[in-house]
Amino acid sequence: MRWNIGGKTLSSRLFIGSALYPSPEIMCNAIKASGSEVVTVSLRRQNPSENAGGQFWDIIKNTGLHILPNTAGCHSAKEAITTAQMGREIFATNWVKLEVIGDDYNLQPDPFGLLEAAKELIDQGFEVFPYCTDDLVLCQKLVDVGCTILMPWGAPIGTGQGLLNPFALKTLRARLPGIQLLVDAGLGLPSHACQAMELGFDGVLLNSAIALAHKPAAMAGAFASAVDAGYWAYQSGTMPQRQAASPSSPIVGQPFWHQADGRDQP
Partner 1 sequence: MILVFLNGQPKRLSTGNATGNANEISLTQAIAVWEYTEKNFAVAVNKQFVPHSNYHKTVLNEGNHIEVIAPIQGG
**Which residues does the annotation mark as catalytic?**
97
CB atoms within 10 A of CB 213: 16
CA distance 121 to 96: 9
Q: How far is the CB of 115 from partner 1 (least distance, A)?
A: 20
Told to check if 208 binds partner 1 by CB under 8 A, we report yes
Output 16 or 176, the one with its CB closest to partner 1.
16
CA distance 169 to 136: 9
Nearest residue to 227 via CA among 35, 19, 31: 35
Output 51 or 235, the one with its CB closest to partner 1.
51
CA distance 164 to 157: 12
Q: Which stretch binds partner 1 (CB under 8 A): 18-26, 148-156, 194-202, 231-239?
A: 18-26
SS3 204: strand
CA distance 18 to 43: 12
H-type alpha helices, 103-215: 111-123, 136-144, 166-175, 190-198, 208-211
CA distances from 24 to 19, 133, 217 (A): 10, 31, 12
Residues 49-68 that bind partner 1 (CB under 8 A): 51-54, 56-57, 60
Site size toward partner 1, by CB under 8 A: 39
Using the rule CB under 8 A, which residue among 3, 19, 32, 66 binds partner 1? 19
Radius of gyration of the chain (CA): 22
CA distance 133 to 110: 9
Q: How far is the CB of 19 from partner 1 (least distance, A)?
A: 4
Per-residue mark of binding to partner 1, 152-181 (x: CB under 8 A): -----x------------------------
Output 176 or 224, the one with its CB closest to partner 1.
224
Contact of 110 with 102, CB cutoff 8 Å = yes
AA letter at 228:
D
AA letter at 133:
T
Output 50 or 103, the one with its CB closest to partner 1.
50
Using the rule CB under 8 A, which residue among 17, 152, 154, 188 binds partner 1? 17
CB atoms within 10 A of CB 255: 5
Output 82 or 225, the one with its CB closest to partner 1.
82
Per-residue mark of binding to partner 1, 213-242 (x: CB under 8 A): ------------------------------
Per-residue mark of binding to partner 1, 92-131 (x: CB under 8 A): ----------------------------------------
Q: How far is the CB of 58 from partner 1 (least distance, A)?
A: 9
Residues that bind partner 1 (CB under 8 A): 17-21, 27, 40-48, 51-54, 56-57, 60, 69-70, 72, 78-79, 82-83, 85-87, 89-91, 157, 206-208
